[in-house]
Amino acid sequence: MKKKIVLICAAAALCALLVVGGTLAYFTDSETATNVITMDGLDITLTETGAVLEDAVYGKNYSDIMPGTVLDKDPTVTNNDAPVYLRIKVEWPTVVNVLNAAKNYTFSEADVQHKMVDSMTAEVSYVDGIDPDVWKKVVAGDDVYYYYIANNGVLAKGAAVTLFDKVVVPGAGWDNGFQNASFQIGVTAEAIQTANIAFDAANPAASFASFS
């Protein structure tokens, strides 16, 4: 939401006192200058192709999935307002093997694919992982963030960027202990202004030091 801050500068009244033949005369003047400064705002949206709002949760639901299945999932952030620095927090799930807890499986960026488009032929291919030329992984405690580092970290107004495009359910090693298992991949996008904040691709988290 845009907020207005109004600064009011009151010019000091100028009073002159003249004494003429014992009669007092006053010359006065007063002026008020009002400067209206409108603060800019930030507005990003996080969407996925085919996602729906269900039980207060926005995303995609899959069922009857078999090991080795490749799922379409493309969390995409669009910047609708002023330029921003962007990071995306991913909550990678751990899937429980009910027959052997030692085989519990935790997802990571190794289980996703990102889309690549050949600039010459426009041919589309999918590459394992999250594109390191676009995103930098930073682990902060229990949180896993992916910071946007392309274009010097700046996501311009009207621009959109996708973290990954597909999720690959592992095949080998997923035995009967994973039958009827379920898991969720949580994705949260966070943005902060670029104005008056420096960016360092080697340490992008520093740009978010004042994020709240």
pLDDT of residue 40: 64
Domains of the chain are 4-38 (no CATH), 44-203 (2.60.40)
Print burial letters for 71-106: b (CB count within 10 Å at least 16), e (below 16): eebbbbbbbeeebbbbbbebeeeebbbeeeeeeebe
Q: Is the pTM of this model over 0.85?
A: no
**Structural contact between residues 133 and 142, judged by C-beta atoms closer than 8 angstroms:** no
pLDDT of residue 12: 36
In the predicted model, residues of the chain with pLDDT beneath 70 are: 1-40
pLDDT of residue 60: 86
Whole-angstrom CA distances from 206 to 137, 142, 145, 197, 201 are 13, 18, 13, 9, 10
**Structural contact between residues 115 and 165, judged by C-beta atoms closer than 8 angstroms:** yes
pLDDT of residue 17: 35
